[in-house]
Structure 1
Amino acid sequence: MEWIHRHATINGIRMHYVEQGSGMPVVLCHGFPHLWFSWHRQISALAQAGYRVIAPDMRGMGQTDAPTAVEAYDIDHITADLLGLLEHLGEPRAVFAGLDFGAFAVYDLALRHPEQVIAVIGLENPAAPHNPDEPPLTEYRRMGEQHFLHIEYFREPPRADRELAAEPRRFLHKVFHTLSGACNYFEMFQHPPGTSYIDAMEEPPPLPWPWLSELELEFFVSEYSRSGFTGGLNWYRAFDLKWAQRKPFEGVQSQVPAYFLGSEHDVDLEGFHGDDPIGQMRAIFPRLRTVRMIPGAGHMVQLEASAAVNEILLDYLADIVAQDTLSAD
């Protein structure tokens, strides 16, 4: 079996996705600064186990169109992308797995269209509601007045767009190291407000690393050199729009079966999801069936601990198949 690259007009944009295999559909949704390629060690493993695996370049990144308006990155657009992808694939339902922004995309989909979601698998980012009393960009702006914070750095164009596009290889080399289990993201808080993200990060060791080759990094560099970073940054800039769109769903629970996979040194679990992130996820997804944690790894878990991630995903998918079969009976 081989990867098949496809392009299709979905929800008014040209979307690129990769698929492999046949069977129960599994859609893998990435975050920033990632691509479909972030899942390249999972796609074949899942396909060879009997699943139809689909890994799109999410809106604004990779070879998928990147609208310039921040409003084009709200929940309505992103949810419509995933629904449109399902329709294009001819699949009435799918398992949706996501990491980072991709995780929140699949949680939003499960709350709004549960009939089209067999199950959700969240990686690193639990379905924790944000502060219901304050727009997130306001909260992050206040934090960013005390020390460097990447979200505040991203908030207003065009500085971040310009600086990251000028040095895509240096940025991606640094940020992949910073987000991994080998580094401590929070050391950047020692830098004052106004510091550039690239300058705030420590110098990474030269490649290859145990989990990333020079050629693999070059794939990300090539794609972001062509596309620029504005599409990915707009996911952050739409935080307040998404916050408002989630307001009607506060206290709403989804009966979609859920699974979670985290890692010991994930920056988001450590610093951005409160004291009880799994409890908050369970409050939204009471059918949270299994939580597994991978020791040593950070936010780049699909690459840092590929074999462990594949094993856990296959365990989750086997349980999903069994549970879905029971429900059908």
Structure 2
Amino acid sequence: MRLSTGFVRTNGIRLHVAQQGAGDPVVFCHGFPHTWYIWHRQMAAVAAAGYRAIAPDMRGYGRSDAPEDPAAYTNVEAGADLLGLLDEIGAERAVFVGLDFGAALLWELARRAPERIRALIVLNNPYAPRTTRKPSELWAMAARRHFLHLDYFQRPGPADAELADRPRDFLARLYYALSADYDYFDIWRFPPEGNGYLDVLPTAPPLPWPWLAKTEFDTLAAEFVRTGFTGGLNWYRAIDRNWESSAGLPATVATPTFFLYGARDLDMAGFSGRDPLTTLRTHVTDLRAVTRIARAGHLVQLERTDQVNGLLLAHLGALTRTERSAATARRATP
């Protein structure tokens, strides 16, 4: 089944979008530092099962527009991109799949526009309630003790230049550090003073890896060689604005949700609170499944492709069966 790419005008920008298959839409949302291509294995599986797989380069990435102002990278703006994408393809609703920043965006979109979301399938990044202080303030406190990329990325300039100077090296080191093959928190032994991200990341083994082909890495890296990383870094620089604009949103998510995570994912282990699964179950009121995937880290869809694809198809099938049963019950009610 052929994959196609093109452009959609939405919310004042041009969004580059990959599509494969036909049927009910399933929209895949990536994070940092990825492009739509991080989902290409999942798109093929979902399309073969009779769905329309759609994966945009999120704003600031790949061939999508990259506004200069970090204020343009809030969840409000990125969410409007997705709603405009649905309008463009003539879809009232879609199933959304998200990882990393894509997951955080979907948790917020589900509270802003629940009528447009048929279901969420979230990988690795659980729902997190709004903090009492700005995220940047919390990160700055942690960065007094050790290097923390979240704080380092807040300041335009140094990180942009460092990563753009060695894009392939950075991507290889980070993808490896995020995998189940490395303990990401070893990075925290480095002090913040005098270190950039490449100074603290491990040296990556030569490609290919058991879970990533060199041709796949080359495809991902080629976009960042061309664009640099500022568009992606601006998502970090918009997080305080997300915090400010989310003050009046509901505290819970009522959308049907399926959650899966790598057993060695850094977000579950150290960036999502002391008990992320209890928080998830407390705040997501229609949580239908939680699955722990052994021997997987942050890029779980690449590290354990067959298992993730099987879960995606199982969750999509379960969602359809539940909807059909509910429709049958409504018709039978006098």
TM-score bracket, normalised by the shorter chain, equals over 0.9
Contact 1:258/1:285 (CA < 8 Å) preserved in 2? yes
Point out the more displaced range, 147-156 or 317-326: 317-326
Partner SS state of residue 18, structure 1: strand
RMSD: 1.1
Could you say which residue in structure 2 is the equivalent of 1:129?
Answer: 129
Could you say which residue in structure 2 is the equivalent of 1:186?
Answer: 185
Aligned pairs for 1:88-107 within 5 A: 88-107=88-107
Deviations 1:142-187 (A, max 9, x none): 1111110111111101000011000001000100000000011110
Distance in 2 separating the partners of 1:254 and 1:190: 36
Deviations 1:50-94 (A, max 9, x none): 111101111111111111111101121011011001001110000
Alignment of 1:205 onto 2:168: no
Could you say which residue in structure 1 is the equivalent of 2:331?
Answer: none
Could you say which residue in structure 2 is the equivalent of 1:84?
Answer: 84
Give the counterpart letter for 2:79 in structure 1.
Answer: T
Distance in 1 separating the partners of 2:319 and 2:244: 32
Contact 1:18/1:55 (CA < 8 Å) preserved in 2? yes
Distance in 2 separating the partners of 1:65 and 1:282: 36
Contact 2:264/2:295 (CA < 8 Å) preserved in 1? yes
5+ residue gaps in structure 1?
none
Contact 1:164/1:171 (CA < 8 Å) preserved in 2? yes
Partner SS state of residue 65, structure 2: coil
Distance in 2 separating the partners of 1:258 and 1:54: 19
Contact 2:111/2:250 (CA < 8 Å) preserved in 1? no
Distance in 1 separating the partners of 2:232 and 2:225: 13
Distance in 2 separating the partners of 1:156 and 1:299: 25
Paired residues in the alignment total 327
Partner SS state of residue 169, structure 1: helix
| Percent sequence identity over aligned pairs | 46
Partner SS state of residue 155, structure 1: coil
Partner SS state of residue 64, structure 1: coil
Cα deviation for residue 205 of structure 1 reads 0.9
Could you say which residue in structure 2 is the equivalent of 1:112?
Answer: 112
Distance in 2 separating the partners of 1:67 and 1:110: 25
Distance in 2 separating the partners of 1:16 and 1:164: 23
Contact 1:120/1:259 (CA < 8 Å) preserved in 2? yes
Could you say which residue in structure 2 is the equivalent of 1:142?
Answer: 141
Partner SS state of residue 153, structure 2: helix
Contact 1:29/1:96 (CA < 8 Å) preserved in 2? yes
Contact 1:20/1:47 (CA < 8 Å) preserved in 2? yes
Distance in 2 separating the partners of 1:148 and 1:254: 33
Cα deviation for residue 250 of structure 1 reads 5.0
Give the counterpart letter for 2:308 in structure 1.
Answer: V
Cα deviation for residue 284 of structure 1 reads 2.6
Contact 2:15/2:59 (CA < 8 Å) preserved in 1? yes
5+ residue gaps in structure 2?
329-334
Cα deviation for residue 104 of structure 1 reads 1.2
Distance in 1 separating the partners of 2:300 and 2:121: 14
Distance in 2 separating the partners of 1:126 and 1:241: 20
Partner SS state of residue 248, structure 1: coil
Aligned pairs for 1:1-329 within 5 A: 1-131=1-131, 133-194=132-193, 195-249=195-249, 251=251, 253-329=252-328
Cα deviation for residue 279 of structure 1 reads 2.1
Contact 2:187/2:200 (CA < 8 Å) preserved in 1? yes
Distance in 1 separating the partners of 2:326 and 2:87: 23
Deviations 1:6-64 (A, max 9, x none): 11211111101111111111001000001111001110101000111101111111111
